[in-house]
Amino acid sequence: MKITLKVWRQKGPSDKGRLVSYVVDDVSPDMSFLEMLDVLNERLILTGDDPVAFDHDCREGICGMCSMVIDGTPHGPQRATTTCQLHMRHYKDGDTITIEPWRAAPFPVVKDLVVDRSAFDRIIQAGGFISVPAGSAPDAHSMPVAKNDADDAFDAATCIGCGACVAACPNGSAALFTGAKITHLGLLPQGQPERMARAKAMVEQMDAEGFGGCTNTGECVAVCPKGISLDVIGRMNADFLKSSK
């Protein structure tokens, strides 16, 4: 296939940035989206041009690094799919694809398609952990957990922190990410002692980072590659309100 790419190129945070067109020939339908970008970069390097900078790591839909907006949708057109899991078979010969970085003030562009998502790290540092005594691991069944709570906690814990929810939200809200991190610990017995303090600290840090407020538009859920539910935002809000009493 022959694909035309319109790629956002930006040398650094202070650079204005622009879309640059490239034509990639001989694209195999079996290539992943990132492999197609690898082909482009190899050609750019051979011609002495600067390759397109983009984040990637596991390429298995686990790490959340492959953050890019494809034709206006974070991670591309396939639901519940990260960019690295998107394959070129979903496109046809002659297609034009526009690729941009996450667009949110707390995610400043580092270069091209790479953004700084350390704001998420600071939210986790504010309270996304539990304090437990050091020592040997307890027996597997020594702390019973209700089946529904275990299922909901596991579903929330599947969040990979990619930031697609922020990129899709018209308000640039990080409520889905923060809610998922608060929920998966708040539903488990180990997370109960610090549950309210955790919610208060993480929500306050989220606001301090400059993320917008949630207005329940649901755009975050539509693009989340792990299908995180809006329920986590409700649980986050409930715990935050209780912590403020």
Q: How confident is the model at residue 134 (pLDDT cuts 50, 70, 90)?
A: low
The mean pLDDT value for 28-57 works out to 97
DSSP string of 167-236?
HH-TT-B-HHHHHHHHHHHHTSGGGSTTHHHHHHHHHHHHHHTTPBPP----HHHHH-TT---THHHHHH
Q: Is the distance from CB of 108 to CB of 116 less than 8 angstroms?
A: yes
Domains annotated for the chain, with CATH where assigned, are 3-110 (3.10.20.30), 117-131+144-243 (1.10.1060.10)
Question: Mean pLDDT across the chain, nearest whole number?
Answer: 95
Q: Give the chain's radius of gyration (CA, Å).
A: 20
Is this structure's pTM higher than 0.85?
yes
With 80 as the cut, is the pLDDT of residue 22 above it?
A: yes
- Which tokens belong to 137? 């691991």
What's residue 58's pLDDT? 96
What's residue 61's pLDDT? 95
